[in-house]
Structure 1
Amino acid sequence: MAGAIVSDVLEQLISIIAMETNQQVRLVVGVKKEIKKLTSNFQAIQAVLLDAERRGLKEMAARDWLDKLKSASYDMDDVLDEWNTAILKKKVCLFLPSPGFCFKQVGLRRDIALKIKRINKNIDSIAREKDMFNIDTSRSIEEPPRIKSTSFVDVSVVIGRDKEKNYLKNKLLHESNEDKKGVHIISIVGMGGMGKTTLAQLVYNDGEVKSNFDKRIWVCVSDPFDEVRIAKAIIEGLTDSVSNFTELESLLKHIHESVTKTKFLLVLDDVWTKEDNKWEPLYNSLNNGLHGSKILVTTRKSTIAGMMESIDIINIEELSKDGSWLLFKRLAFFDRPQQECEKLENIGREIVGKCKGLPLALKTVGSLLRFKKTREQWQRILDNEIWKLEEFEKGLFPPLLLSYNDLPSMIKRCFSYCAVFPKDYEMAKDELIQLWMAQGYLGLKQNQELEIVGEEYFDMLAMCSFFQDFKKDDGDNIIKCKMHDIVHDFAQFLAKNECFMMGTGSDEESSYSFENARHLKMTLEDEQASFPTNLCSIFKIRSLIVRWKYNDSSSISNCLSNLFKQLTSLRALKLDEVFGENLITKIPSEIGKLVHLRYLNMFSLRGIKELPETLCELYNLQTLNMSFCSKLEKLPDGMGKLINLRHLINNGTFALSCMPKGIERLVFLRTLSKLVVGGDGHNSQVFSLDCLKKLDYLRGSLEIRGMGNVIDGAEAKNANLWSKKYLLHLKLYFDYKSEASSTEVSAKDEAVLEALHPPPNLEKLVLMGYRGITMSFDWMAPLTQLRKLTLEDCINCEHLPPLGKLPLLQTLEIRGMRGLKRVGNEFLGIKNNDSSSSSSSLTFFPKLNHLILHKLENWEDWEYEITEDFAIMPCLSYCNIVNCPKLKALPNHFLQATSLERLNIVSSPVLKQWAIYHHIPITSIPRRLFRQLTI
């Protein structure tokens, strides 16, 4: 991890030299020389860091040297960030001049110069010290041992894999229905120590598998992927003789000839390479085998299984509780008297629980405890964090270290940062990426798509099995995940002395050393609301997650005020409290002192009514999360100063009645969850819809409240909504206090909607409270990517919008449309009831599968005037019609529907009688489930 922070600092130093050369910044006298010297020192240190970091895992001296280097690098990073912040402030002040600013700048530059000189002396010392430890670039890197696997296994001692074995065995013995020709590949994927090799050994030695194949070959591939060695091993397995060939071409030709008329099973154990140009020639040489030949691959990376075009991927999971206990008991209680086993069983089961089903952990701890006789010795194992035990460093961590060392340096520290969360914590992917970004792990350039970089880093960690228990949204995108407890222990091992979790009142606190602490999660439970007195170096931390569990609001305010004065190196701050307590009622003005802050999370602080104006002095802020601060009434007027803000997350801010106009200056915004238009009379300083004009980076979801405050179509057109190509979900609320309709309001809403022009890639749209009479064909037609549409309380609409030709629409929900009386051809998207020009093969609503029609009180007729045999809603599976008392019948395509699985008709007596007459089965569903039927 030291390598990454050194690289960051070095990048900044080189950038400063370039800016000084181009006269974009003016260095204080003497600092230029110091900067160049620092750069030279960091470059020399960077050249030997790989050797130092590998040695630091084993050698205390090297580890201490790395800690000193990281500390000095963090200090330098703070100074450079302070400098960059001053430059940012100058940019902001060009728009908002500040008295005495130039004088302050001169003083600041001198202060920075002194800090740089002090750090340079420290770095000088560290650079000299590396020579004492003989750290160099030429030393061969000692990798953790890679144990070569074989096909041999004692089947009688393998526990808990019967289900996986039977599934895999079935795949090997039977042909897949896949169309893929040639030799089929099956992959077993899982983190290190999960038992992939053992599972492969079980099926490899199974009697039925043996008799099904003419030849079976086992090759331990490991890393690097040596094509010549692997080819020779395959030939040995096929011919029972050693090959004399040395050229790859000759070896592959021999394999190609040897597998002809041979049904074979090839196991490639422990595959790491992602280079398909190395794999493809080998696969092509094997593709001459008889029908039914199989290749079984074990790997830690799902990307490799995909690269090898596996027809089946088996994600191997943890052992069950019973299986874990049996495996542990066989090792820990071996040759132990029955009476002794009974005394140790309870504590043994607790220890097994800590291993969370990881076979390697169970084997390691079971073997360790076999030779520990007393309950006190077992209790020590139970009480310790596994990563603190030397035995586990030797037995369990090397396999994880192999996966870790395979990661690029920037992703390594993204992984180790996860140690700041407690075990079994459900990490939100977007939040994790924002925290990485706050620490500078995703790069330093503001105009980069840092979120996409973060997605790539997250995906790589997930595909390397460092993350698990994924939760996905309805688009199959990962939104949350967890870490296996042992993987979390490994992250703590890597981040020890940097990441801490603690609570006040603990006896362990006195033993903590916070000298190098950078990331801290705290739970404050006592009435004093203060940090423990031994946190002398706490001002260096870069991440703080703090939670209160008591109800003294005034003490909390004082505590926060003191924290903000001391923790001036903070990059990320998350304030939390026990749900529903409303303990934090005020954010102190001292928050403006956190000049390095990039991430501020105040999620669900329901006691806060306003934010201090000093918050707008946080020029580096990238993420501001105030979702479900339900009493928050207004945002600071100076929000436009936050020129680096990328994520303004404010879902559930129900009391927010207006937003400041300055938000239009935040051109780097990627997330703006909720936007309130107008809402403060004719105040020109509140946000109007045309303030969206330059916010073209907006992505994800946007909710716009106060559409009723939009003056006219010109204001809507100037919002340039169609230019927001990354915006996928849009909610438009035409908020009117009175339900009374008027011709003037209807005409204005129609003009606003018509001028708005929706984003081109919109997938979900909610339109609520719209008072227009119609929704034009030209507005709906461009929504070719739309998958879900909700129209609610559009009380004046007399016609359903033309939706039938939307190619991807899957869910349509219409509620509270009082003006609707008849549905006809316009709903299909046929203009003027003229279908003669349409092709007879046309399909309307081709993908629609959920249709929800609620509270359409005046709707009477639903029929189409078409002569051709069109297909309408061919995929419809769920239809819910509720409180449509005047509706007489459903159109003919419902009578012919073969895909319809559930039709629910409630409070629509006329329609219900029609359905009974036509023998259409109606599903009886309780009212409480209506909403659950929507996607």
Structure 2
Amino acid sequence: MGENLLEPLKNKTAEEVGEEYFNDLLSRSLFQGTESGKFTLHDLVNDLAMFVSGDSCFRLGNNVSEVARKSTRHLLQCGSHYIKNLNFEDLCNKKILRTLILKDIYPSGYVIDILEKLQSMQYLRVLDVCQDRYYMVLNSIVLESSRMTKVLNSIASLKLLRYVRFVCAGIKEIPDSICTLYNLQTLILRECGITRLPDSIGNLKHLRYLDLTRSPINKIPDSIGNLEHLSHLDLSSTRIENIPDTVCNLHELHTMNLYSCTNLKRLPNSITTLINLRHLSISDTPHTAMILQEWPALREMPPQMCKLKNLQTLAAFVVGKDSGSNIKELGELQHLQGPDLLIKGLENIINEEDASGAKLEDKKRIIRLRLGWEGDSDDSQLAREVLDRLQPHTNLEELFIRGYGGTSFPPWVGHHSFFCIKYLGLFDCRNCCWLPALGQLPSLESLKIAGFDMLEKIGNEFYSDSDGSSSSSSAITKPFKSLKRLHFSGMAEWREWSVVEVEGNREEGRGVFSNLNELELSHCPKLKRECLPDYLPSLETLSIWGSHHLAASLSGHQYPSLRVLKIWFCKKMKTFPEGRLPSDIQSIDISGCDELASLSDEGWPSNLKSLQISNCSKLFVRSNITQCNLGMLTSLTSLHIGHINEVDTG
């Protein structure tokens, strides 16, 4: 597909054809999946390939005593040790070597030693140098940029190179000489520290793939518009603020990745002339979908985005003001596949019918949807109508809503027909007085709710869309039956938390939150501790932030599986514990409790093994030191006390 060898068939795109081919090969066990979601050759197929390739392919790793044969055409050296028995001078004099891959070789200076000998490898086609980022950061390893510049200048003499990749290679800038590699088709320079591209980059007339991911570069030269064959451009996690208008000359461009470009303010207005563009990714990375603080800085989309008829991926869409981009344009992008879609600027919609025009319900392949409003809402009813008309397809797996200005949620939010939703987040919905009925989402595993300033009570409406009467609640299907993680944060007025009764014996785990493993309550200053659910059979970790009245005691609560208790930044808590804690807790972490002055002699878990106390300096002043007797903790095996400004022992 990358070489444009696949052609569309009938009503199928080249990507769909390629997916069918891949799935066919997967079903025949040519490939096998891994736990990380990647694919590798099946072991038997790999062995067969190694046998057929004979001496033409050679891999040299740790604890290998062999040397490369004279007939070796493709060489891979990997491992974390200096390997002395590989004679690169010999290889450099051969005219047969076509591929050289150097992976995770340390000491790092050895990599440069090898690269400085490449000048005579005139027939080399592929050069791939990849160092492990985490190992280099952990060991404060930095490749010498001056030596790497010389290496790049010498590589420029290898005129047959088609593929060049450097990862974590300490390259600050690309010399003009590299831009004389007229056969180069792929240039990947990830995490190399590049701060600028030369204007001569436009001389690489055959370049198809350019990747500068995680580089501190903040500007792209206009000459990039001369790369007429470029089909893939990746500027993710760079510091760029604008995309030059000349990019719109790249009519072969299929993919433009701009993930986590938090400084990017605008896209060129003429981007709609890129009629072959299929993937435009403008958002944070999918892996940070649960963290909504870093939404794209784009103010609005270019007008007439609907002209990009072949667009399959549009990770973010910003609704414009007045004559700007209209949300209805999403409805005309009929080939939109997802899997991610973020829509921000929803406060700019002045007619709820425009939201209907987005036709989100027809987009079956969107599995992660994020909807965002900014600023205070002047019309809560309009906000509700807009959200109601943005109802997505029931295939959705993740839903996040931020800044919603309505006082309540439309019925589709939490409806049991959304049987695939696993992750759901509601943030900064400051006018809402009630939570939606989320308890009947059968697959919901993680729920985060934050910034509901007006909410005072969580009642029966949270568990089901019934009327909340005793007769109807008895018929409720077990609420939150799949929920494992529940986080509440920034609920300034929240006072009461009611839990509905569900038919069945609660000791058998058939009640509400029967599978909940992790509960976090952060900055809920008015929530009464007696309102906490009294029975959570599967709860293993309880975290309490900034809510001292919840932290001190869990008396009367049955949490038989609780093992970890975290109490952070409870500024007003003066003694701990104030009552008896569940006996099976094994680890307690107390941090940032400035007023904590004493530790009680009673109430501690009988099986406590680990106790961590940090940033609680009042606990260790002379007047309080005698109130810190831990002798009763006979099961304790680990005690950590840290970040104490001054310990006055008299």
TM-score tier after normalising by the smaller chain length:
0.5 to 0.7
- 8 Å CA contact 2:546–2:568 kept in 1: the answer is no
Give the C-alpha shift of residue 784 in structure 1. 1.6
Residue correspondence of structure 1 range 719-758 to structure 2 within 5 A = 719-736=358-375, 739=376, 742=378, 745-758=379-392
Alpha carbons of structure 1 residues 706 and 274: separation in structure 2 relative to 1, 3 Å: closer
Give the C-alpha shift of residue 575 in structure 1. 3.6
Alpha carbons of structure 1 residues 389 and 868: separation in structure 2 relative to 1, 3 Å: farther
What is the rounded CA distance, in whole Å, between the counterparts of 2:155 and 2:244 in structure 1? Answer: 37
- 8 Å CA contact 1:835–1:866 kept in 2: the answer is no
- 8 Å CA contact 2:473–2:500 kept in 1: the answer is no
The residue aligned with 1:641 is: 273
Which of 548, 570, 574 does residue 207 from structure 2 map onto? Answer: 570
The yes-or-no answer on 1:792 pairing with 2:427 is: yes
Alpha carbons of structure 1 residues 693 and 422: separation in structure 2 relative to 1, 3 Å: farther
The residue aligned with 1:215 is: none
Which of 571, 575, 596 does residue 229 from structure 2 map onto? Answer: 596
Alpha carbons of structure 1 residues 775 and 527: separation in structure 2 relative to 1, 3 Å: closer
Residue correspondence of structure 1 range 62-461 to structure 2 within 5 A = 301=42, 355-357=60-62, 362-365=64-67, 381-382=85-86, 384=88, 423-424=103-104
Alpha carbons of structure 1 residues 614 and 862: separation in structure 2 relative to 1, 3 Å: same
TM-score by length of structure 2 reads: 0.62
- 8 Å CA contact 2:149–2:175 kept in 1: the answer is no
Residues 442-498 of structure 1 show CA distances to partners (whole Å, capped at 9, x for unaligned) of xxxxxxxxxxxxxxxxxxxxxxxxxxxxxxxxxxxxxxxxxxxxxxxxxxxx99622
SS at match of 2:439: coil
- 8 Å CA contact 2:413–2:437 kept in 1: the answer is no
SS at match of 1:693: helix
Gaps of 5+ in 1: 16-271, 277-298, 306-353, 369-377, 394-415, 426-493, 931-935
The residue aligned with 1:690 is: 328
Moved more, 873-882 or 655-664: 655-664
Which of 406, 431, 435 does residue 772 from structure 1 map onto? Answer: 406
Kindly indicate which of the two structures has a greater share of residues assigned to helix.
1
What is the rounded CA distance, in whole Å, between the counterparts of 2:155 and 2:554 in structure 1? Answer: 75
The AA in structure 2 aligned to 1:668 is N
The yes-or-no answer on 1:825 pairing with 2:457 is: no
- 8 Å CA contact 1:862–1:889 kept in 2: the answer is no
Alpha carbons of structure 1 residues 732 and 834: separation in structure 2 relative to 1, 3 Å: same
What is the rounded CA distance, in whole Å, between the counterparts of 1:818 and 1:388 in structure 2? Answer: 69
The residue aligned with 2:162 is: 518
Give the C-alpha shift of residue 627 in structure 1. 2.9
Give the C-alpha shift of residue 693 in structure 1. 0.4
The yes-or-no answer on 1:915 pairing with 2:554 is: yes
Give the C-alpha shift of residue 721 in structure 1. 0.7
Alpha carbons of structure 1 residues 388 and 665: separation in structure 2 relative to 1, 3 Å: same
SS at match of 1:786: coil
Give the C-alpha shift of residue 515 in structure 1. 4.1
What is the rounded CA distance, in whole Å, between the counterparts of 1:605 and 1:877 in structure 2? Answer: 37
SS at match of 2:85: helix
SS at match of 1:640: helix
The yes-or-no answer on 1:500 pairing with 2:127 is: yes
Residues 576-603 of structure 1 show CA distances to partners (whole Å, capped at 9, x for unaligned) of 68x54x4x43421x32222211011223
The residue aligned with 1:310 is: none
The AA in structure 2 aligned to 1:356 is G
What is the rounded CA distance, in whole Å, between the counterparts of 1:852 and 1:273 in structure 2? Answer: 39
The AA in structure 1 aligned to 2:61 is K
Residues 707-759 of structure 1 show CA distances to partners (whole Å, capped at 9, x for unaligned) of 111223211111001111111111111111xx4x65xx211111111111123
Alpha carbons of structure 1 residues 794 and 421: separation in structure 2 relative to 1, 3 Å: farther
Alpha carbons of structure 1 residues 889 and 498: separation in structure 2 relative to 1, 3 Å: same
What is the rounded CA distance, in whole Å, between the counterparts of 2:400 and 2:495 in structure 1? Answer: 25
Residue correspondence of structure 1 range 641-680 to structure 2 within 5 A = 641-652=273-284, 654-678=296-320
SS at match of 2:187: strand
What is the rounded CA distance, in whole Å, between the counterparts of 1:273 and 1:725 in structure 2? Answer: 24
The yes-or-no answer on 1:544 pairing with 2:190 is: no
The AA in structure 2 aligned to 1:771 is G
Give the C-alpha shift of residue 910 in structure 1. 4.3
What is the rounded CA distance, in whole Å, between the counterparts of 2:342 and 2:91 in structure 1? Answer: 46
The residue aligned with 1:710 is: 349
- 8 Å CA contact 1:750–1:772 kept in 2: the answer is yes
Alpha carbons of structure 1 residues 891 and 420: separation in structure 2 relative to 1, 3 Å: farther
What is the rounded CA distance, in whole Å, between the counterparts of 2:327 and 2:514 in structure 1? Answer: 39
SS at match of 1:634: coil
- 8 Å CA contact 2:461–2:468 kept in 1: the answer is yes
Residues 272-328 of structure 1 show CA distances to partners (whole Å, capped at 9, x for unaligned) of 99979xxxxxxxxxxxxxxxxxxxxxx9726999xxxxxxxxxxxxxxxxxxxxxxx
Alpha carbons of structure 1 residues 841 and 546: separation in structure 2 relative to 1, 3 Å: closer
What is the rounded CA distance, in whole Å, between the counterparts of 2:124 and 2:27 in structure 1? Answer: 34
TM-score by length of structure 1 reads: 0.44
- 8 Å CA contact 1:273–1:304 kept in 2: the answer is no
What is the rounded CA distance, in whole Å, between the counterparts of 1:599 and 1:520 in structure 2? Answer: 15
The residue aligned with 1:615 is: 247
| Bigger radius of gyration among the two | 1
Alpha carbons of structure 1 residues 826 and 596: separation in structure 2 relative to 1, 3 Å: same
- 8 Å CA contact 2:388–2:410 kept in 1: the answer is yes
What is the rounded CA distance, in whole Å, between the counterparts of 2:84 and 2:463 in structure 1? Answer: 72
Give the C-alpha shift of residue 670 in structure 1. 2.8
Alpha carbons of structure 1 residues 838 and 667: separation in structure 2 relative to 1, 3 Å: farther
SS at match of 2:127: strand
Give the C-alpha shift of residue 355 in structure 1. 4.3
What is the rounded CA distance, in whole Å, between the counterparts of 1:617 and 1:640 in structure 2? Answer: 11
The AA in structure 2 aligned to 1:699 is G
The AA in structure 1 aligned to 2:279 is H
What is the rounded CA distance, in whole Å, between the counterparts of 1:524 and 1:673 in structure 2? Answer: 31
The AA in structure 2 aligned to 1:301 is H
The AA in structure 2 aligned to 1:649 is S
Kindly indicate which of the two structures has a greater share of residues assigned to strand.
2
Residues 184-226 of structure 1 show CA distances to partners (whole Å, capped at 9, x for unaligned) of xxxxxxxxxxxxxxxxxxxxxxxxxxxxxxxxxxxxxxxxxxx
Give the C-alpha shift of residue 903 in structure 1. 2.2
- 8 Å CA contact 1:497–1:513 kept in 2: the answer is no
What is the rounded CA distance, in whole Å, between the counterparts of 1:421 and 1:366 in structure 2? Answer: 13
Alpha carbons of structure 1 residues 585 and 913: separation in structure 2 relative to 1, 3 Å: closer
Give the C-alpha shift of residue 828 in structure 1. 0.8
Give the C-alpha shift of residue 810 in structure 1. 0.5
The CA RMSD over aligned residues, in Å, is 4.4
The AA in structure 2 aligned to 1:780 is G
SS at match of 2:383: helix
- 8 Å CA contact 1:667–1:695 kept in 2: the answer is yes
The yes-or-no answer on 1:882 pairing with 2:522 is: yes
Gaps of 5+ in 2: 10-24, 30-39, 47-58, 71-81, 106-120, 130-146, 285-294, 505-509, 571-588, 591-650
The AA in structure 1 aligned to 2:187 is L
Pairs aligned (count): 469
Give the C-alpha shift of residue 665 in structure 1. 2.0
What is the rounded CA distance, in whole Å, between the counterparts of 1:387 and 1:836 in structure 2? Answer: 83
The AA in structure 1 aligned to 2:185 is R
Which of 889, 897, 907 does residue 536 from structure 2 map onto? Answer: 897
The residue aligned with 2:111 is: none
Moved more, 895-904 or 824-833: 895-904
Give the C-alpha shift of residue 669 in structure 1. 2.3
Residues 748-800 of structure 1 show CA distances to partners (whole Å, capped at 9, x for unaligned) of 11111111112321111111111111113334313221101111111111111
- 8 Å CA contact 2:355–2:386 kept in 1: the answer is yes
